[in-house]
Chains A and B, each alone.
Chain A
């Protein structure tokens, strides 16, 4: 990537700190969170070709971890970050090991993740431990020590750190042996296995990495809105949004999800000014997805890559 582009990206990322309008910062924050979650999906779904329809499992695991650690055990919410990272990775490894050992791939893997997300939703909706359908309110206590920020710019800063973290992971995959193994098995499982790549272990590790990172986004959500419930945490909409961001920007590329998030949020904000009915913007996302699959299978970033080549 050219230095000019890197400079532009840094400027774009730091720009919101100069904004005084909280609502504009909020838009920037939501865009960065979308980019982060899309990047997390991309690590498994883009690089590894593991088309997950249930990635919100990890998001919800992180969100509930933050809420439960504070309200039940009185722990500092910053501790939720490492806890969520570990929990998300464990859940990812468990689902991955079960699914990949059974040989599920492609559409079957997509469906089984959807079903796992539904199991998590139903469980969180009926167990006392998660306070069922009532959800969990996190008591207000503004302050950096308590991971609650009155200024959206601070939330934005945390989101940006997460995005840099996930994007570094994606950039690492692009160069590392592990990433090359993932791409190899995405392109041709049998050939990759013949080269001695352990399919189950590699795919499980990718899902664990992706799951651990995704769970961090759940913690940030819980600390921003101070409320979690079963459908926020485990509803299918968030899984689909993560997939859309990555697919539209360009799955399997380092910068694709960031581009995808920017495009989706521009669509959302422009269309909301035009027709404010709920459902209109997500409908356009679906149309964009169909166009991308039909015309630009490598996503928007594919245009740039083709032009450069």
Chain B
């Protein structure tokens, strides 16, 4: 009995690491641009398809493809902000929300048109590999995904804290007009931050693929999870996204264990609603 719980706990933590990476991108975009990026799940789906195509057509393992996919997704995010979201939204809250929804609708259905609705997976030696840890069996791709996700989260934090570009991003997040007076162009930083947020998704996609399926609908699976993590941790908070990711990973796997396969997913939605209704600043957020 204890083993089952321990296994569920560890599994939840492992998947939570990747969730944290997905949520980091979302919280970065919120923190800097103050926009709710509803296209986040759909863009993760695009990254997963990119990684899947590289594995299937070119024979490149998703881990080897990670830098390329992350860079490609960064470029896609940057372009998307420059060409669509930044232009269409004119800085209005509702227009931005609907613009990102529009992008999600277009992407989901574009991939449905191109690839059909089937779910796809890659076959690799790693898919079913496990590490034995006492009585527990840990899935190797999940352990790798967890470790690399947290490594990348640390790297992103370092980038934001230590580099000039990171400082410029934080300056724009706090005080766009002040930053403009210091010679920083906020519009450039917005596109850059959006690109970095989406680049995180490219990395997460490659880490997920060996143990997760991909389909044009997979975005909607992740979008609510990512938002739950971000509001739980506090919108815009980096440590919040990491802690929130781990908590939600555990909530999901414990929910599945206690409530069963079909009722289990309710846990995430309930956490989300409860946080929004009773503690909208989240665990690490400053008061609004």
Taking Cβ atoms with an 8 Å cutoff, the residues of A that contact B are 49, 51, 53, 98-99, 102-104, 106-108, 110-112, 114-116, 118-119, 122-123, 125-126, 132-133, 236, 240, 243-244, 247, 275, 277-280, 282-283, 285-287, 289-290, 293-294, 297
Closest beta carbon of chain A to B230's beta carbon, Å = 10
The reply on B277 being an interface residue by CB < 8 A is yes
B129 at the interface (CB under 8 A from A): no
| Chain B contact residues, CB within 8 Å of chain A | 36, 38, 84, 87-89, 93-95, 97-99, 101-106, 108-113, 116-117, 216, 220, 224, 227-228, 231, 260, 262-263, 265-266, 269-270, 272-273, 276-278, 280
B273 touches A119 (CB 8 A): yes
B109 x A49 contact (CB < 8 A): no
Interface hub of B94, B105, B280 (most chain A Cβ within 10 A): B105
- When distances are taken between beta carbons in the complex, the residues of chain B under 8 Å from A107 are 36, 93, 97
CA distance A164 to B134 in the complex (A): 68
A283 near B227 with CB under 8 A, answer no
Known contacts A290-B88, A294-B88; is-contact A118 B224 (Cβ 8 Å): yes
How far is A142 from B9 in the complex, measured between Cα atoms in Å?
A: 53
Cβ-defined contact, B277 with A286, below 8 A: no
| Chain B interface, DSSP helix/strand/loop, else mixed | helix
Q: A119-B266, A126-B260, A126-B263 are in contact. Are A112 and B277 (CB under 8 A)?
A: yes
The A/B interface has a contact count, at CB < 8 Å, of 131
B220 contacts which of A116, A236, A279, A280 (Cβ < 8 Å)? Answer: A236
Most central of A53, A108, A122 by chain B CB within 10 Å: A122
8 Å CB contact of A104 from B87, B98, B260, B280:
B280
- Cβ–Cβ contact B101 & A122, under 8 A: no
Contact of A283 among B109, B228, B266, B272 (CB under 8 A): B109
Evaluate whether A279 and B110 lie within 8 angstroms (CB atoms) in the complex, with A289-B105, A293-B89 already known.
yes
* List of B residues within 8 angstroms of A51 by Cβ: 94, 97-98
B112 touches A278 (CB 8 A): yes
Q: Is B263 within 8 A of A293, CB to CB? A: no
How far, in whole Å, are A159 and B62 apart by their CA atoms in the complex? 51
Contact A283 B273 (CB under 8 A): no
8 contacts between A and B (CB under 8 A): A107-B97, A111-B36, A112-B277, A119-B270, A126-B260, A278-B117, A287-B106, A293-B95
Most chain B CB inside 10 Å of its own CB: which residue of A110, A283, A297: A283
Inter-chain contacts of A243 with B (CB < 8 A): 98, 101
Is there contact, CB below 8 Å, between B106 and A293?
no
Cα–Cα, bound, A123→B98 (Å): 28
Extra contacts besides A115-B269, A126-B266, A283-B113 (7): CB < 8 Å: A99-B276, A119-B266, A123-B263, A243-B101, A279-B117, A283-B110, A290-B88
Min CB distance B14 to A, Å, is 23
